[in-house]
Amino acid sequence: MLVDSSGNLIIQNESLLNYVKNKHVSSWRERLEQIAFKAIRDKQYDKAERYFTKAIKVDEGKAMNYYRRALIRIKLQNHKKALDDVSKAIELKPTEYVFYLKRAQLYRILDIDYKVMNDLNMAVRLKPNAANVFDIRGKFRLSLGDRAGGKMDLLKAEELRKEGLGGGSELYGSQAA
């Protein structure tokens, strides 16, 4: 028991209470995530979105669930909400380069091209040895008519691939969506 017979806390330090609460929250969140992953495998994307939303309500501090829900929302063609989710994931974990790549993709889909390059540049700063980052930025630069910059990025991507530094195409791709 954490309280005595009169209802007063036995433990003055709340660390044990926080531990118990956090353990319960994380186990419940993990259960909701597993249900969402099963829904993804069964191609029930609406259900997966609902369960990631529930997991976020249980633990709002987990950036990965915002990112996963964004991937589901992209599949459901709900790009504006997906953009909000990826932006929240970036707010919670600003060092994850894949979040910036996904937000750049969403900006491109929503025709907000002037914000795409900022996110691609940030991804390059965070992961300067990943060929896929340079490949994506190079293709975007070519689409804007920046032939020199695009070629430079594509050559850098090829050089990194030869060194075996391709980088993943998607963060947690098999589980996320």
Q: What is the pLDDT of residues 123-166, one digit of tens each?
A: 999 999 999 999 999 999 999 999 999 999 999 999 999 988 76
Domain 15-176 has CATH 1.25.40.10: yes
Q: How many helices (H) and strands (E) does the chain have?
A: 9, 0
Confidence of residue 26 (pLDDT cuts 50, 70, 90): confident
Q: How far is CA 75 from CA 45, 46, 69, 79, 81, in A?
A: 8, 10, 10, 9, 12
Mean pLDDT value across residues 82-108? 97
Query: Could you tell me the two tokens for 170?
Result: 């998607």
- pLDDT of amino acid 177: 36
Check: CB of residue 100 under 8 Å from CB of residue 122: yes
- pLDDT of amino acid 164: 83
